Chains A and B, each alone.
Chain A
Amino acid sequence: MTTSTVLAAASGVSGGEEVTFWILGPLALIGAIGMVAARNAVHSALWLVLTMLCLGVFYVLQAGPFIGMVQIIVYTGAIMMLFLFVLMLVGRDSTDSLIETLRGQRVAAIVLGLGFAGLVGGALYRALQGTTAVGLEQANAEGNVQGIARLLFTKYVFAFELTSALLITAAVGAMVLAHIERRKQDKVDQPSTMRARFAPGNYPGPKPGPGVFATSSSVATPARLPDGRLSERSTPDILPVRELTAQETTLKGTDQ
Chain B
Amino acid sequence: MSPIYLAQDPTLADFGRDPWWLVLGKIVFAFAFGLLATLLGVWFERRVVGYMQVRPGPNQVGPFGLLQTLADGLKMAFKEDILPKAADKVVYFFAPTISVICAVTALSVVPFGPMVSIFGHHTPLQVTDVPVAVLLLLACSSMGVYGIVLGGWASGSTYPLLGGLRSSAQMISYEVAMGLSIVAVFMTAGTMSTSGIVAAQGDGTQLTIFGQTIPAPGWYAILLLPSFIIFFIATVGETNRAPFDLPEAESELVAGFMTEYSSLKFALFMLSEYVAMVTMSAVTTTLFLGGWRAPWPITIWEGANSGWWPMLWFFGKVIALVFVFVWLRGTLPRLRYDQFMRLGWKVLLPINLVWILVLSGLRSIEDWDTRGKVIAVGVPAGILLIATIFWPSRRPQPKPTTQEQVDNRPHGSFPLPPMDLQVPPSPRITRVVAEREPANIVAGSDSREV
Contacts and interface: CB of A to CB of B under 8 A. Distances in A.
B131 A65 contact: yes
A84 B413 CA distance: 55
B312 interface: no
B130 A4 contact: yes
Given A65-B131, A70-B135, A88 B411 contact: no
Contacts of B132: 65-66, 68-69, 144-145
Given A66-B132, A145-B131, A88 B153 contact: yes
Interface in A191-243: 198-201, 204
A81 interface: yes
Interface in A48-63: 49
B412 interface: yes
A42 interface: yes
B15 A198 contact: no
Contact of B91 (A46, A66, A70, A72): A46
A66 B135 contact: yes
B153 A77 contact: no
A73 B178 CA distance: 13
Interface string B6-25: 00000011011000000000
Contacts of A43: 91
B311 interface: no
B145 interface: yes
B254 interface: no
SS class, residues of chain A in contact with chain B: helix
A85 B12 contact: no
B142 interface: yes
Given A2-B12, A76-B142, A145-B192, A82 B131 contact: no
B12 A81 contact: no
A53 B145 CA distance: 15
Interface stretch (B53-61, B162-170, B276-284, B291-299): B162-170
A13 interface: no
B385 interface: no
Given A65-B132, A88-B153, A88-B161, A2 B88 contact: no
B149 interface: yes
Given A1-B13, A92-B88, A77 B156 contact: no
A77 B16 contact: no
Interface centre among A42, A77, A145 (most CB of B within 10 A): A77
A3 interface: yes
A2 B131 contact: yes
Interface residues of B, number: 36
Interface centre among B16, B139, B411 (most CB of A within 10 A): B139
A92 B151 CA distance: 13
Contacts of B156: 92
Interface in A7-58: 40, 42-43, 46, 49
B146 interface: yes
B131 A78 contact: no
Given A78-B142, A88-B165, A2 B172 contact: no
B138 interface: yes
A84 B168 contact: yes
14 contacts: A2-B129, A2-B131, A3-B15, A42-B91, A65-B131, A70-B135, A73-B139, A76-B142, A81-B149, A89-B165, A92-B156, A144-B131, A144-B132, A200-B412
Interface of A: 1-6, 40, 42-43, 46, 49, 65-66, 68-70, 72-73, 76-78, 81-82, 84-85, 88-89, 92, 143-145, 198-201, 204
Given A1-B12, A143-B131, A200-B413, 20 more contacts: A2-B12, A3-B16, A40-B88, A42-B91, A65-B131, A66-B132, A69-B135, A69-B138, A78-B142, A78-B172, A81-B146, A82-B172, A84-B149, A84-B150, A84-B153, A85-B169, A92-B88, A145-B192, A200-B412, A200-B414
